[in-house]
Amino acid sequence: MNKQRTLSIIVSLIVSTLFLISVAYAVPPISLEKDVPRSLLTANPTTIILSIYDAQTGGTQLATQSFQLGQWFADYSFIKWDSLNQVGIEMVRFKVDNFINTAGITESDQDLWVEIDLYGTGSVGGRERIKNVAWSLFPQKSALDLEIPDGLINTSPVLTQVTQVISYTVPPGKNLYISDFYSLDGVFFTINGVLFNGYAHTNYSSLFIMGENMVIQSTGNPININGYLVNKKKDFIVHDLNTSNYTVPNGKILIITAHDTSFNSSGSVSINGLYFYKVSIAHSGEVLSGNSKFIGYLINQ
């Protein structure tokens, strides 16, 4: 009997522990940012360490995490900060958006103490309360931002012109959000060889989004482009249904951000044989066909 009771207690403890672990991992990560005076930067940081301390004393560490080069970002006035060689800068803002929230911190915890270590030698700028300095702490949204799916971390402006000879390629690690097109005689262009025009329908906002390494080139007069780059979180695809059907991969959902039917008489898109004028979402295993081109990205179902 005692052996059975002992076994029952052990099983209960294991189940409880697994439950607590699952709850801890269910808490979404948080985003942090810190303004550091330029005068305190003695070298270009590589690995940075962010730590959060309790609100009462500021002496009990609640969570800490290291971020390697490429996992954190730094800017000033929304312009990317690259090195100590940049002049005329008084403050540099360091940002991360995937701080693992092991302490279960919520948006209401604005009295916590925070610090940043840039060189592995201790706090730079001292330990201060979140609400008294330029830190922001908030849970990442669980819902998808359909208008700006990549977020606005480390934006940089783009103002350029493309012609039949001169193209523009979205840089590695970036996605391009185009707010304005202009040409004297209609806006006609290709993206990775797929023909679009500037009146292509955008489904969730007025922004026309191009993915990393996508190439845009005019097929007529020069085109002026105005927009901004953001750090890539979504992998965008471009597809011409006039060339081949598209099947949504298993376990995925296709979010279509822009489509163009203007070069076809019927202007119709089919999902598993059912026709629509436009499509903004398609689910795992569904087959798109018809007279259209689209740009979009995949998310887990």
Residue among 101, 96, 83 at smallest CA distance from 142: 101
**Helix, strand or coil, per DSSP, at residue 116:** strand
In the prediction, which pLDDT does 15 show?
A: 46
| Angstrom distance (rounded) from CA 171 to CA 212 | 6
Q: For 89, phi and psi rounded to 5 degrees? A: -115, 130
Q: What is the tens place of the pLDDT at every residue in 94-150? A: 888 788 878 777 666 667 888 999 998 888 888 777 654 434 454 444 445 677 788
End-to-end CA separation in angstroms for the chain: 48
Instruction: Answer yes or no: is pLDDT of 18 > 90.
Output: no
Instruction: Answer yes or no: is pLDDT of 156 > 80.
Output: yes
Instruction: Report whether 258 contacts 203 (CB < 8 A).
Output: yes
| Angstrom distance (rounded) from CA 111 to CA 106 | 11
- What pLDDT band is residue 6 in, cutting at 50, 70 and 90? low
| Angstrom distance (rounded) from CA 208 to CA 258 | 7
Q: What is the tens place of the pLDDT at every residue in 167-186? A: 999 999 999 999 888 887 77
H helix intervals, the chain: 2-26
- The structural domains of the chain, with segments of one domain joined by +, span 27-139, 156-300
